[in-house]
Amino acid sequence: MPSNTTTAPYDLVILGAGSGGYATALRAAQLGLRVAMVERDLVGGTCLHRGCIPTKAVLHAAEVADSAREGAQFGIHATVDRIDAAEIRSYAEKVVGRLHKGLTGLVDSRGIEVITGTGRLVVDADGPAVEVDGRLVRGEHVVLATGSYARTVPGVEIDGVRVITSDHALKLDTLPASAIVLGGGVIGVEFASAWRSLGVEVTVVEALDRLVPAEDPEISTALARAFRKRGISSALGSPVERVDSSDQGVTVQVDGKELTAEVLLVAVGRGPSTEGAGFAEAGIGLDRGFVPTDERLRTNLDRVYAVGDIVPGLQLAHRGFAHGLFVAEDIAHGRGLIDRAPTPVRDVEIPRVTYCEPEIASVGLSEAAARDLHGDAVETLTYDLGGNGKSQILRTQGFVKLVRQADGPVLGVHLVGARVGELIGEAQLITGWDAHPEDVAGLVHAHPTQNEALGEAHLALAGKPLHAHA
């Protein structure tokens, strides 16, 4: 056990400086708590450096390519002369760099100590602490925020050249001519969408029977149809049987058939980064590597919280932000620094967006989940974006699907179509505040906007459709 214990314990020591960790730190410092944050890499974590931000920058570059290529339908005649993967990477890295500089400045301005090194949770007679390179950093409370890593598949060896993860994909200076994407979830369909727009021939392999299996089945059907139109192939309900790689490319055996491409992108989701962090040794009860908590994000150890991707449930940066804010305020409330205890974060109220083309956005319950709770006392309505003026201007197809309890509130909102991620904020208010269709129908939505589609859908569900058939 290290003997170099800090002489002035912190109120809060955070292990990990990703979305959940730095959000905890910023809010705690704002509330007057003394905070230390331990991070072995860069402040900002996966989301800023290897996930949300760089991937969405690549997706925007892909959107620009599509706009140029398809401009003739709007009377703008242009050609795509060259797609330079190195320049796309440089653009993404500049975005990341600017955000990282701003974040580190914010952390510094709040008086948060950032300790660089690999930390391990330690619990002794004096309570919880984090050991970093022989130094014991002790806090009245410890928050575990170690984030996630790109999962792999047993028997599929990642070589970083022919068989890669999303981390490798973001570092490519040259795009492959063809790719197989293993995994039809969020990460897989986003890369498949971006690469196709950038000229790559793409096949998505998914062991389950539909793309984005965590979404409503109607969303999956719409995305599969859109991908076929874009020339993205799919092999669904097909677990991988074997992968062979060589200097020429990769061969993937699926359902007795062989698929070949220059690279295989393994995009089967993310796992919790808890191994080697001392959690089990300290007495944390792990579940498949995740850290179970109660609704207030407390672990089974006294004064030890967990936030973000290591907590079972949705793995989303904004969930990590919400967890961090909650924990900071919960600790501050316990110390009498704020009068009101924060409300626990509920996964069902967290919006979800997949940034492929077309975009997917959802919040609340799917139809199946609603029926599990309420049986036949569930109503649904689907409003086609074909009736929305702005969607016609954008030349996008898709729909808004509402799920409600019969004669009750809206339980879920599910959208597919270009830019629908921008609509999910209002959708979250609708489901989070238990609004009835009549409540939303009474609101005036600006014309012409895609936001009108939410208003139109609720008008129809309230029994008074305007630009939709009764």
The CATH number given to whatever domain includes residue 282 is 3.50.50.60
Q: Is residue 349 part of a domain?
A: no
Query: For residue 419, which amino acid is it?
Result: R
Q: How far apart are CA 373 and CA 140, in angstroms?
A: 41
Q: Is residue 444 part of a domain?
A: yes
Q: Which residues contact 60 (CB under 8 A, 6 or more apart)?
A: none
Q: Is residue 340 part of a domain?
A: no
CB atoms within 10 A of CB 238: 19
My answer on whether 261 and 285 are in the same domain is no
Q: What is the average pLDDT across 136-143? A: 96
Q: Is residue 346 part of a domain?
A: no
- The pLDDT value given to residue 302: 95
- The pLDDT value given to residue 2: 46
User: What token pair was written down for 168?
Assistant: 């490798």
My answer on whether 362 and 387 are in the same domain is yes
Boundary (domain end) residue, out of 250, 268, 286: 268
Boundary (domain end) residue, out of 245, 268, 291: 268
My answer on whether 236 and 381 are in the same domain is no
My answer on whether 9 and 133 are in the same domain is yes
Boundary (domain end) residue, out of 282, 302, 334: 334
Q: How far apart are CA 381 and CA 373, in angstroms?
A: 18
My answer on whether 13 and 145 are in the same domain is yes
- The pLDDT value given to residue 470: 59
What is the per-residue pLDDT across 189-198, written as a single tens digit (0 to 9) for each? 999 999 999 9
CATH number at residue 370: 3.30.390.30
Q: Is residue 201 part of a domain?
A: yes
What is the per-residue pLDDT across 219-245, written as a single tens digit (0 to 9) for each? 999 999 999 999 999 999 988 999 999
Q: What is the tally of structural domains in the chain?
A: 3
What is the per-residue pLDDT across 8-65, written as a single tens digit (0 to 9) for each? 489 999 999 999 999 999 999 999 999 999 999 999 999 999 999 999 999 999 999 9
Phi and psi based region of residue 85 (left: phi greater than 0; alpha: psi -120 to 50; beta: remaining): alpha
Q: Is residue 344 part of a domain?
A: no
My answer on whether 134 and 205 are in the same domain is no
| Strands, sheet with 378-384, edge to edge from the N-terminal-most edge strand | 352-354, 359-364, 410-417, 399-405, 378-384
% of the chain surpassing 70 pLDDT: 98
My answer on whether 264 and 293 are in the same domain is no
Residue holding tokens 């808004």? 400
My answer on whether 398 and 258 are in the same domain is no
Kind of pairing between the strands at 113-116 and 352-354: unpaired
Q: What is the average pLDDT across 454-465? A: 92
Q: Which H or E run includes 57?
A: helix 52-69
What is the per-residue pLDDT across 390-446, written as a single tens digit (0 to 9) for each? 999 999 999 999 999 999 999 999 999 999 999 999 999 999 999 999 999 999 999
- The pLDDT value given to residue 6: 42
Query: For residue 387, which amino acid is it?
Result: G
Gyration radius of the chain's alpha carbons:
24
What is the per-residue pLDDT across 424-436, written as a single tens digit (0 to 9) for each? 999 999 999 999 9
Average pLDDT along the chain: 95
- The pLDDT value given to residue 3: 44
Exposed, middle or buried by CB within 10 Å (0-12, 13-18, 19+), for 440? buried
The three state secondary structure string of 221-254 is HHHHHHHHHHCCEEEECCCEEEEEECCCCEEEEE
Whether 121 and 301 have beta carbons less than 8 Å apart is answered as: no
- The pLDDT value given to residue 256: 86
My answer on whether 69 and 93 are in the same domain is yes
- The pLDDT value given to residue 201: 98
My answer on whether 391 and 450 are in the same domain is yes
My answer on whether 213 and 135 are in the same domain is no
- Residue 128 clears pLDDT 50, i.e. is over it: yes
Q: What are phi and psi of 439, to 5 degrees?
A: -65, -45
pLDDT bracket for residue 214 (50, 70, 90): very high
My answer on whether 248 and 383 are in the same domain is no
Annotated catalytic sites, by residue? 447
- The pLDDT value given to residue 8: 43
pLDDT bracket for residue 183 (50, 70, 90): very high
Q: Is residue 170 part of a domain?
A: yes
Q: For residue 174, give its domain range.
A: 163-268
Kind of pairing between the strands at 10-15 and 35-39: parallel
- Residue 319 clears pLDDT 70, i.e. is over it: yes
Residue in 92, 87, 265, 96 with CA at minimum distance from that of residue 173: 87
3-class SS shares of the chain: helix, strand, coil, % to 5: 35, 25, 40
Lowest mean per-residue pLDDT among 143-147, 254-258, 380-384: 254-258
